[in-house]
Amino acid sequence: MKVRAIVNGEPRELPAGATVADVVSALPDAPGGRGLAVAVDGEVVPRGTWSAAPVPDGARVEIVVAVQGG
C-alpha cells in the first residue's frame, strides 16, 4: 500500500507508514536533516518528533532548507 503526498509542490508516493523523518532522509539536499523546518498540512513538526510523525495520505509536506549567503 502506498500513501500519496505533495512534497514541496511535487506529488510523491510514499510507503504506507512513512514518517516525516523518512521523507527528509529521501531528500538529496538535506544533509542529515540539519538546517531544516518541516510542516505537514500547515503545522510545523518539531524535529524531535519527525521519526514518530506519520505522513497521512493526501498530506501537503513543506520542507524548508536554511541557506546562508550574502
Residue 60, domain CATH? 3.10.20.30
* Tally of residues, the chain: 70
Residue 50: how many other CB atoms lie within 10 Å: 18
The parent domain of residue 42 ranges over: 2-65
70 assigned to some structural domain = no
Residue 44: how many other CB atoms lie within 10 Å: 11
Q: pTM of the prediction?
A: 0.87
* pLDDT for the residue numbered 27: 81
Give bridge partners of residue 40 from the DSSP assignment: 43, 61
Q: Where are the alpha helices (DSSP H) in the chain?
A: 20-25
Residue with cell 500547515: 42
Confidence of residue 63 (pLDDT cuts 50, 70, 90): very high
What phi, psi does 49 have (nearest 5°)?
-110, 5
Q: Which pLDDT tens digit goes with each residue over 2-53? A: 999 999 999 999 999 999 999 998 887 666 667 889 999 999 999 999 999 9
61 assigned to some structural domain = yes
Count how many domains the chain has. Answer: 1
24 assigned to some structural domain = yes
11 assigned to some structural domain = yes
Q: Give the type of residue at 8.
A: N
Residue 70 confidence (pLDDT) above 70: no
